[in-house]
A and B are shown apart, each in its own frame.
Chain A
Amino acid sequence: MKSYEAIHQVDLTVPFLSLSLKNPVMPASGCFAFGREISAFYDLNRLGAIVVKATTLDERQGNASPRLAETPAGMLNSIGLQNPGVECVIREDLPYLAIYEQLPVIVNVAGTAIEDYVEVVKRLSQVQSIAALELNISCPNVKCGGIQFGTDPEMAAEMVRAIKAVANIPVIVKLSPNVTNIVEMALACETAGADALSLINTLIGMQIDVERKRPLLANGVGGLSGPAVKPVAVRMVYEVSSAVHIPIIGIGGVMTGVDVVEFLMAGASAVQVGTANFVDPYACVRIIEELGVWCDEHGVQSVTELIGAAKPKIGV
């Protein structure tokens, strides 16, 4: 078993909201389940934080198979928010993660109507072990699965206000790239009270099974992720971080430590790792290690020096 034990000199801690993350790397929602499977590979305390699978009010079985397709340097998924429902998550999954005392737990919340989201957040607010919520208003794979809130700035703002009214912990809003103007969406969420933003969710795509003359995924469309989407994500992080004053988590195709450097330089305070976990169960700890090595090699003392480093310097 590989260890990827820390050997670097750099200080990897980053302040994020009221937390001090031990490093800026966390698995993305839907790419790590609730942590149990990966805990067989390494100690989850080594992660900056964990974002668990999207949680809805009631249990969901998700979409029909096939739900996955490989694409050049990426993949499409149409899972459709399969999850056991918030009560089961509170009863079985969150207590399991609570044993990892140095692991901030972020719960991703999804739903159909504002009332569903509000109810899930009310119930999660009873749980002591959660550090923050991530509002999924950007899932492309379910009808009325939240993305309508993620593509209309007024609806997004209404959702954020409703959640902020009941949440007793910070609220991160996860943005969809499937919009004309992501900066407008980001500003709407910030004005409505979002504490942070995470971006991007997947890009809507399709693959055709040419032998069968029909879309390969049973759901027709799916969300594109992996290295193929990284340039889109970096551009959006750069633009949004230049416009808002709240912290940003960059997401999209992070496979290596250098990818983390790129997102931080674009203005992210932390990153989420998604598809890479499917390729390599050790991806997150390997990436943390690679980030440390890169910083050492480049004379970086604290990883916070990298945040926004690619932006034009004011007054220069």
Chain B
Amino acid sequence: MALVTISSHTRINADLYELTFTAPMDLQTTRYEPGQFLHIRVTDSFDFLLRRPLSLCKVDLLHNRLTVVYRVQGAGTKRLSTKQVGDALDVLGPLGRGYQIHKEDHASLLIGGGVGVPPLVELARQLHELGQMVHAVVGFQSSQQAILLSDLAQYGSVTVLTDDGSIGKKGIVTDVLRTEFCNGFDRYYACGPTPMLKAVQQVLRTADLPGYLSLEERMGCGIGICVGCVHPIMRDGHVANMKTCKEGPVFAAEEVVFS
């Protein structure tokens, strides 16, 4: 846990903000994984007590800074959006288990929906650095919610879909996940709303493509002590409620049980 300084905070689309701050640790010497999250207090007063888990989106090794991207969804994130450059930010993390990178892979498929897209940016950077072919398929409600497209485009090709067709193709991410398309990849990495993850898991199980899902549950402590953020996970033939903050948020796709 550390009080760090905000170095930039900008509105990047309708209700979406990009927040950059000094990393709470030395990025050159500390291990972190794409898909991990930062647990951030929106105020130091008691009115909004709990931290907000925000996925690690971008890493600036040169300046030792981290970037998260979030949507103003309620009064707490509204409060966060009022923070200014130079303000202190109470940050815990990076926390949790992120995406496992498979160095032997040649081509990776990244699938994101809405505010599930941010962790895919650092993941794409790392996969690209390893020389892998990266293709991101990302879906949004409309152009008003589309984010990070040029960031993803630095590391590979990007297919954009929107519910209303205002940018990219009209449709949802599973529309493009046909078996012939998926055959070109070794693995997939997904992050997005639960209905999307459930549909992606189903489609890619049929296509026989292994992958990872990053789950989102309402989180409390972020370190595994409150046991609030559980999701049913099948492991060793037995389903158990596992903590998405500690054992996740990323799980192997075949382990995740959806109701």
List chain A positions with a Cβ less than 8 A from chain B.
Answer: 2, 30-33, 37-38, 41, 53, 61-62, 65-70, 72-75, 77, 79, 82, 226-227, 255, 275, 277-282
Contacts and interface: CB of A to CB of B under 8 A. Distances in A.
Given A37-B225, A53-B227, 4 more contacts: A38-B223, A69-B218, A226-B49, A278-B225
A65 B49 contact: no
A281 B49 contact: no
Contacts of A31: 225-226
Name the prevailing secondary structure of the B interface residues.
Answer: loop
18 contacts: A31-B226, A33-B224, A41-B1, A65-B228, A65-B230, A65-B231, A66-B218, A67-B227, A67-B230, A70-B49, A73-B49, A79-B227, A226-B46, A278-B221, A278-B225, A279-B51, A281-B1, A281-B221
B246 interface: yes
A68 B49 contact: no
Interface residues of B, number: 27
A13 B223 CA distance: 30
Nearest to B226: A278
Given A37-B223, A75-B49, A278-B50, A68 B229 contact: yes
Contacts, number: 88
B13 interface: no
Contacts of A33: 224-225, 227
Q: List the 7 shortest-distance A-B pairs measured between CB atoms, nearest first.
A: A278-B221, A68-B228, A66-B218, A33-B225, A73-B46, A37-B224, A227-B46
A75 B231 CA distance: 20
A279 B92 CA distance: 10
Interface of B: 1, 41, 46-51, 76, 92, 217-221, 223-231, 240-241, 246
Contacts of B1: 2, 41, 280-282
A92 to B, nearest CB: 15
